[in-house]
Structure 1
Amino acid sequence: MIRLLATAALIGSLGAAHAQDRPLDVVATIGMIGDIATHVGGDCVEVTTIMGPGVDPHLYGASASDVRSFQSADVIFYSGYSLEGQLGEVLAKFAERKPTVALAASSIAEGDLIRTDGAYGIDPHLWMDAGLWSRIVPTIAETLSEARPDCAEGFGANAERYVAQLTALDAWVGDAIATIPSGQRTLVTAHDAFAYYGRAYGITVAGIQGISTEAEASVADIRASADLVAATGVPAIFIESTINPRTIQAVIDAVQQQGHDVRVGGQLYSDAMGADGTPGGTYIGMIHENTRTIVEALGGTPPPLPEALADWAEEWNLAKAAP
């Protein structure tokens, strides 16, 4: 009996040691969370992102493979405020069994949220403000530390370094937007995902569709957007990577019918990042590329990146940071 107990204890200790050796299985709903979890977690985590490039979270429904990913996860991160739509009930059930954290809701003060009419109540696109979104980083580090205490020191150091990068990015975006001539500082996009961006960086924002993409833009929406473009004289409007561009083309046609010209200024990342293995496939790159696209199309000149982003720029072979 003593030998059996000793064997069982040995097996148990070996199992615990193996659990500590393997990376934490972390599942994130969107890339803007998954990328940050990867940077904070380092070698101690393995991150799976449910919704990849070009995927609209407003319309997303859980697949059988998603449920299996949630089942095997040690930690689940999601944004919250109904962004994940149909995944909400699934995430609520998993919250009863394992660490399942709504990062936006648990990290960002209510006074900093943008409230809206309709079903959402809260605009869920908080990642568009890099300074605001940086507040989820400590929450990620704390959650991972609770699940893997032996890696806590590394999580903390990685989080501190990443927050410094986002702080520098936040300042750079503001400086870049300020170079747009004041009369052209209006951002017209396919849907209303850039309100936090506009508030943070001093640019007027108008989405043809509302916050959600569940309903098509109406004729009235298109007409109102065309009237705004014609009145302000902005030279460009923008398509989004997760939304069919036909509404943007409809606005362009309506503007031309009023005797004005406007062009597509480029594609912006709104509800999803870019392709894996590209700068836009990172959170920093998403905000950086959006800003360069907006500023250059509206007549501004983006400044060099700050020194705090030199390592990121070098990793992606981009222009050197400012001295």
Structure 2
Amino acid sequence: MLMNRSWFAFSWLVVLVAALGCSEASSTAHHDHAAQAHKFSGQYPMKVVATTGPVAEMVHRVGGDHVEVEGLMGPGVDPHLYSPVASDVRKLTNADAIFYNGLHLEGRMAQLFEKMADSKATFAVTEGLQSRHDQRLREPPEFAGLYDPHVWHDPMLWADCASDVAQNLSEFDPAHAADYQKNAAAYQAELKAVDKFCQDEIAKIPADRRVLVTAHDAFGYFGKRFGVEVFGLKGISTEEEKDLEHQEEIQRMLIERQIPAVFVESAVAPRMVASLVEPCRAAGLDLQIGGELYADALGAPDSDAADYGGMIRHNAKTIADALSRVNAGE
């Protein structure tokens, strides 16, 4: 029954996009930056729909009092597996603008957003990185020539996305362009402080222990930015099947290098990572679950990961605390 409801909602999203497209098909030619042609002419605050928690927070911080942001995916929701529900149709229909992560993070919904850009202001916050061919973008060989979408795990990459969001909002609502630029600059200053915090935390880990093992390959940008080797039991998407041979390779690596901890993720069942523990302990390594990391979603409102800065700080501190133990036998 749940699958039927999800498919019903998704079908209505398809119908919605078709209707929106037909309404302006005669006057609007499709092009890669169709959203830039739209100008806001309604009442403030603008109604904005965003997909993930980090994207929603960014648009809220950059948009300030001029926007009212509603998110589709709450705490603990895996965007790789997200299926739209009927209420999403209403939110998207009523929105003045839509912001999403892009780089295929949102799966099938990305195709809908790209089509909706013809008739509604619709922006991928990572589009600027891609169009500029940013050299920091990761292209994992197993991801079929696509970029890794988890860019928010590098605060400096995310800061550049904030600048792009300010530009998107300025083009859509030129009357408040100065406010958007000012807000983005303030937010970027905070992200720079988050980056410094992470650098300091990771520096506490002995160099030979800077190894991060999680459920899926979500922390590649974090590792690249802060000098940590990253291993995921699954690939870029949580939809991928776990490879038992790959898991055995990771187990051997943990034992050989005496890595003291592995980490579960808030939006992925912990049993996948927990399956590493017993084989390693049987081989003499006192492997521990080092804690829970936030990979694809913010934490609950009452958690220390309720906002973007809190999430990244939580991850860095959790990793540093677990991996900086004197030895794996403690």
Q: The TM-score by the shorter chain falls in which range?
A: 0.7 to 0.9
Say whether 1:125 aligns with 2:125: no
| One-letter code aligned to 2:200 | D
Aligned to 1:239: 264
| One-letter code aligned to 1:115 | E
| One-letter code aligned to 1:174 | Q
Say whether 1:105 aligns with 2:127: yes
Contact 2:143/2:236, CA 8 A, preserved across alignment:
no
Q: Shift of residue 190 of structure 1?
A: 1.0
Q: 1:152 to 1:300 in 2, by over 3 A?
A: farther
Say whether 1:221 aligns with 2:243: no
Looking at structure 1, the residues matched to 186 and 300 of structure 2 have their Cα atoms a distance apart, in angstroms, of: 24
Say whether 1:175 aligns with 2:175: no
Q: Shift of residue 39 of structure 1?
A: 1.0
Looking at structure 1, the residues matched to 116 and 307 of structure 2 have their Cα atoms a distance apart, in angstroms, of: 27
Say whether 1:115 aligns with 2:139: yes
Looking at structure 2, the residues matched to 279 and 145 of structure 1 have their Cα atoms a distance apart, in angstroms, of: 32
Aligned to 1:70: 92
Looking at structure 1, the residues matched to 193 and 287 of structure 2 have their Cα atoms a distance apart, in angstroms, of: 33
Q: Shift of residue 61 of structure 1?
A: 1.9
Looking at structure 1, the residues matched to 199 and 212 of structure 2 have their Cα atoms a distance apart, in angstroms, of: 14
Aligned to 2:9: none
Structure 1, gaps ≥5 residues long: 1-16, 302-323
Say whether 1:212 aligns with 2:207: no
SS of equivalent to 2:263? strand
Larger radius of gyration: 1
Q: Shift of residue 300 of structure 1?
A: 7.1
SS of equivalent to 2:143? coil
Greater mean alpha carbon deviation, residues 100-109 or residues 30-39: 100-109
Query: Among residues 26, 31, 34, which one is paired with 2:56 in the alignment?
Result: 34
Instruction: Report the identity percentage.
Output: 41
SS of equivalent to 1:140? helix
Greater mean alpha carbon deviation, residues 105-114 or residues 233-242: 105-114
Contact 1:62/1:86, CA 8 A, preserved across alignment:
no
Contact 2:60/2:69, CA 8 A, preserved across alignment:
yes
Looking at structure 2, the residues matched to 126 and 41 of structure 1 have their Cα atoms a distance apart, in angstroms, of: 21
Aligned to 2:313: 288
Query: Among residues 48, 72, 84, which one is paired with 1:50 in the alignment?
Result: 72
Aligned to 1:85: 107
Q: Shift of residue 139 of structure 1?
A: 1.5
SS of equivalent to 1:279? coil
Cα shift readout 1:46-75 (whole Å, capped 9, x = no counterpart): 001111111111111222211221111111
Contact 1:82/1:120, CA 8 A, preserved across alignment:
no
Aligned to 2:11: none
| One-letter code aligned to 2:59 | A
RMSD between aligned residues: 2.0
Where does 1:8-23 land on structure 2 (aligned, <5 Å)?
A: 19-20=42-43, 22-23=44-45
Q: Shift of residue 120 of structure 1?
A: 6.3
Contact 1:24/1:148, CA 8 A, preserved across alignment:
no
Looking at structure 1, the residues matched to 164 and 254 of structure 2 have their Cα atoms a distance apart, in angstroms, of: 40
Contact 2:260/2:325, CA 8 A, preserved across alignment:
no
TM-score normalized by the length of structure 2? 0.82
Looking at structure 2, the residues matched to 186 and 264 of structure 1 have their Cα atoms a distance apart, in angstroms, of: 14
Say whether 1:95 aligns with 2:117: yes
Q: Shift of residue 18 of structure 1?
A: 9.1
SS of equivalent to 2:245? helix
SS of equivalent to 2:83? coil
Contact 1:28/1:47, CA 8 A, preserved across alignment:
yes
Q: Shift of residue 148 of structure 1?
A: 2.7
Q: Shift of residue 277 of structure 1?
A: 4.5
Where does 1:290-309 land on structure 2 (aligned, <5 Å)?
A: 290-299=315-324
SS of equivalent to 2:182? helix
